[in-house]
Structure 1
Amino acid sequence: MSFPTDRPRRLRSSPAMRRLVAETHVQPSQLVLPMFVAEGRTEVRAISSMPGVVQHTRDSARRAYAEAVELGLGGVMLFGLPERKDAQGSGALDPDGILNVALADARAEVGDDLLVMADLCLDEFTDHGHCGVLDDRGRVDNDTTLGLYAQMGVVQAESGAHVVAPSGMMDGQVGVIRAALDEAGHDETVILAYAAKYASAFYGPFREAVDSSLQGDRKTYQQDPANGREAIREVLLDIEEGADMVMVKPALSYLDLIADVRAAVDVPVAAYNISGELAMVEAAAANGWIDRERAIDEIIVSIRRAGADVVLTYWATEVATRLRAQ
């Protein structure tokens, strides 16, 4: 009877051996925590479709920033939830608007010990819920929106953002934001471009989280899930316009594109582990169908294995806590 001479199982024989030969590692510094900060709220509000995630008050957000520093997270990505919206999304440009004061709060709390990142988009601030202003036919007006994005980037930098993250998928958005930042003296402010952002079905819980007013859909400006090569084109255009980092969103259904983007560029690549991906795991775990912690860890390592240098995830605090205990 013959036996195999090549035995890969030797390298799986114990936890210590598996740790030694692990090809992919997750560190707290590679994780970014997305956070929602609500204007006028005095108590945190749970988001029903995203167990464990809340709409923060300014005070509860400050505590979360401090915790993120303590855990060694890479950063926080802030989203502002205004009390009032209008067609132009004017609250996004107001230095006293909720996103900008939350950025100032975060920077005052953490200084340079944690990267303070700002989502740069109008959708939370418009009464129609789109990522840009509308023309007289109800279509998103790309070029008019660009002017507002440029102003928004400057206000966010002046409010304390280390990183601005344009997510609206307007053509040319990175270039106008970079030019505006540089002209205003914010040449050190980093742009993390949502370069390949898809019109995904997995955003549903996020819309509850931000009290979305969306009318219709975003298929005319976010990418078609059927297209992969187009993602590389979008990413390369953003880098040409001045993006310092690029992002693929969502992550879990687009692991192939994370790998493709990683192979195509030499800038840091981020991926966003989004709300619907969280909701699926939490729902299955609540029914006893999967091991929740193992599933979370497997998802995060899969995103890293695909090539993401940075992972935005609502589980960032939990995962970092678990990593510290190992």
Structure 2
Amino acid sequence: MSAFPATRMRRLRQADWSRRLVSENTLTANDLVWAVVVSDTADPTEPVAAMPGVERLGLDTLANAAKRAEMLGIPAMAIFPHIDPAKKDEKGSEAFNKDGLVPQAIRTIKEAAPNVGVICDVALDPFTTHGHDGLMQDGAILNDETVNVLIKQALVQAEAGCDVIAPSDMMDGRIGAIRDALEAHGFTDTMILSYAAKYASGFYGPYREAIGSGAVLQGDKKSYQMDPANTEEALREVALDIDEGADMVMVKPGLPYLDIVQRISETFGVPTLAFQVSGEYAMIEAAAANGWIDGNRVMMESLMAFKRAGAAGIVTYFAPRAAEILNG
């Protein structure tokens, strides 16, 4: 580059048309996955106190939300269940109930909006009385025994019509085991989105309130979720999951881990998604409600940051609001 004044970086920024012309990244509704909480106790909705603007949706309301997603051009919805506490047990048995909330939610979305993809969380924390993602014995989370249950959960979801199985549990070997089970049962086209780099983060608090696991969680999840200090470990986790059959990988949380998004995207060249988690959503909404920031502007800026880091898609509670802005 020539030195100033031959080079004036501001020249390209002077007009709206020139800024648009040289923009390096583009955000569209196609980049968004709408994270929704579906509930068997909501009639028709229940507000989530820690996430202003987010509600637990009953099935009828979920159908309307699916139609809205389709209208806005949002490619997919990721569903997370909040079940009646009376249905929870230590083994998370409701997770593989063929007539349970999640299979009903899958069928509801598919009937209401056939062109909207359905992504289903695979983990036991919404279904257990101890709030952990896996089976627990004497205070320890059992890896291999949990994987066997996750296979059952994934097959129930696939049978109900789920398009993308998304294991978020962080058990070792579960991607390969689920892939083998899907193949063996004829679900060869069912995709797997692995939460490959999921960190033991403090940003999950509002989500745990939303699904009802926070109040019952015993201890923490540091024995199976990743240490926030680690980067190379994330690359190893992703490499293993791709080798086992993951079609896409996820980084969670999102904004505090943009460096991880970038490294994974550049290293592996596979579709890499980022999850703008509940704590990120809540911080933006809280600051906006106090008049400290322009909520919509910061929302859009945060979503663009994921694209800049190399994310192929963003799972976010902001999806419908962002899509409305992007669609004009």
TM-score, normalization by structure 2: 0.96
Q: Give the match for residue 276 of structure 1.
A: 279
Contact 1:82 1:97 survives alignment (8 Å): no
1:216 and 1:16 map into 2 onto residues whose CA distance is 54
Contact 1:36 1:81 survives alignment (8 Å): yes
1:126 and 1:303 map into 2 onto residues whose CA distance is 32
In the alignment, does 2:105 pair up with 1:102? yes
Shift of 1:3: 6.1
2:43 and 2:282 map into 1 onto residues whose CA distance is 26
Structure 1 stretch displaced more, 78-87 or 183-192: 78-87
Shift of 1:231: 0.3
Secondary structure of the corresponding residue to residue 60 of structure 1: helix
Question: Which of residues 304, 308, 313 in structure 1 aligns to 2:311?
Answer: 308
2:56 and 2:195 map into 1 onto residues whose CA distance is 23
In the alignment, does 2:61 pair up with 1:60? yes
Contact 1:81 1:99 survives alignment (8 Å): no
Shift of 1:267: 1.4
In the alignment, does 2:137 pair up with 1:127? no
TM alignment of 1:34-183, pairs within 5 A: 34-83=35-84, 84-111=87-114, 113-135=115-137, 137-183=138-184
Shift of 1:48: 1.1
Q: Give the match for residue 298 of structure 2.
A: 295
Contact 2:83 2:211 survives alignment (8 Å): no
Q: Give the match for residue 18 of structure 1.
A: 19
Contact 1:31 1:75 survives alignment (8 Å): yes
Secondary structure of the corresponding residue to residue 140 of structure 1: strand
Secondary structure of the corresponding residue to residue 43 of structure 2: coil
Secondary structure of the corresponding residue to residue 135 of structure 2: coil
1:22 and 1:281 map into 2 onto residues whose CA distance is 25
Identity rate, percent: 45
1:273 and 1:279 map into 2 onto residues whose CA distance is 10
Q: Give the match for residue 207 of structure 1.
A: 208
Shift of 1:160: 1.0
Q: Unmatched 5+ residue regions in structure 2?
A: none
Query: C-alpha deviations, 1:204-236, integer Å up to 9, x for none?
Result: 111111111211110000000001110000000
Secondary structure of the corresponding residue to residue 48 of structure 1: coil
Query: C-alpha deviations, 1:157-215, integer Å up to 9, x for none?
Result: 11110001000000001011001111110010000000000000111111111111211
Q: Give the match for residue 262 of structure 1.
A: 265
In the alignment, does 2:237 pair up with 1:234? yes
Shift of 1:108: 1.6
C-alpha spacing 1:47/1:40, structure 2 compared with 1 (3 Å)? closer
2:221 and 2:327 map into 1 onto residues whose CA distance is 40
Q: Unmatched 5+ residue regions in structure 1?
A: none
1:311 and 1:274 map into 2 onto residues whose CA distance is 10
Secondary structure of the corresponding residue to residue 141 of structure 2: coil
Question: Which of residues 218, 223, 227 in structure 2 aligns to 1:224?
Answer: 227
Contact 2:44 2:60 survives alignment (8 Å): no
1:32 and 1:93 map into 2 onto residues whose CA distance is 24
1:132 and 1:227 map into 2 onto residues whose CA distance is 23
2:227 and 2:18 map into 1 onto residues whose CA distance is 43
2:288 and 2:82 map into 1 onto residues whose CA distance is 29
1:104 and 1:127 map into 2 onto residues whose CA distance is 26
2:123 and 2:281 map into 1 onto residues whose CA distance is 22
Partner amino acid for 2:119? Answer: M
TM-score, normalization by structure 1: 0.97
Query: C-alpha deviations, 1:21-43, integer Å up to 9, x for none?
Result: 11111111110001111114213
